[in-house]
Structure 1
Amino acid sequence: MRWTFVLLLFPISAVADPTMECIDAGSQVEIGSCVSDMETRVSAAIESSYSLALGAAKELDDVTSRVVATPALQTSQNTWIAYRDAQCEAVGASFGGGSGTGIAITACRVDLGRARVDELLRYAN
């Protein structure tokens, strides 16, 4: 049941490159808007799956009477955010300031975000 909410935020077409999913949008501006909308949905899915994983970590800490899983997950999330931001900036830099830079950065954030949702949901089980 808790997976239903996350799956609604996370489209089945998540396996494709975000820019290719938006190719029918038309212009570069429309593709940028489409990819940006995807990033919004992926961000919501990250928040939901992180909340589920955090609940599982707290439950584990309670059961084991140790406070290790929760801080480890929090550190992991903070480190992942820093990695995502740095990696996607590097992707953007590889475009040499061209007009597709913003789309590339956003598509990178979508790709890495989708992978993070998978990781967090595995933790939540």
Structure 2
Amino acid sequence: MHWTIGLLALAGGMAAASGAFAQQTDCKNPQTQMEMTSCEQDRYDTADKALNEQWKKTRAQTADVDTNLEEKDRGAEKALLTAQRAWISYRDAECQAEGFQARGGSMEPMLVAGCLANLTDKRTKELKELSDALGN
């Protein structure tokens, strides 16, 4: 029991230190591997939020397209959902593969996070272009 409480306290302390560390990191000029990894993770977190916002808009538009079609012609929202699920599988596998450039090393998490950020930014742009083409 004491062991579990000690582990939880250690994890909480590490999380607090990590949060403080992230606030102090200058991502325009990171100096350590830990800072570089933190910056790439922050970049991915930002990209993921933007993707989720765009996803909601684009999915709503495809649902709207479906409502304006005859039953036999519907499927825009389902096609988008299928594509997004396939893209997520691709993104995760691609970035895992990129991480193998430094497998087991301190650079691996940075490479994976950077890949996730890049591919997520690209997908957000693709969803925005689809949204623009749908005209809503």
Short-chain TM bin: 0.7 to 0.9
- Work out which of the residue numbers 53, 67, 72 in structure 2 matches 1:62: 67
- Work out which of the residue numbers 30, 38, 57 in structure 2 matches 1:33: 38
TM-score scaled by structure 1? 0.79
Among all aligned residue pairs of Structure 1 and Structure 2, give the percentage whose two residues are the same amino acid.
Answer: 29
Q: How many residues are matched?
A: 105
> Could you give the per-residue CA deviations for residues 8-56 of structure 1, whole angstroms, max 9, x where no partner exists?
xxxxxxxxxxxxxx46021111111111111111010110111111011
Point out which structure has higher relative CO (alpha carbons under 8 A, 6+ apart).
Answer: 1
Please provide the CA RMSD for this pair: 1.5
Unaligned runs of 5+ in 2: 1-26
The 8 Å contact of residues 56 and 123 in structure 1, kept in 2 or not, is answered as: no
Structure having the higher Rg? 2
Pairwise mapping of residues 6-21 of structure 1 onto structure 2 (< 5 A)? none
> Could you give the per-residue CA deviations for residues 68-108 of structure 1, whole angstroms, max 9, x where no partner exists?
10000000110000000000000011223222011000000
Pairwise mapping of residues 38-117 of structure 1 onto structure 2 (< 5 A)? 38-65=43-70, 66-117=73-124
Unaligned runs of 5+ in 1: 1-21
TM-score scaled by structure 2? 0.72
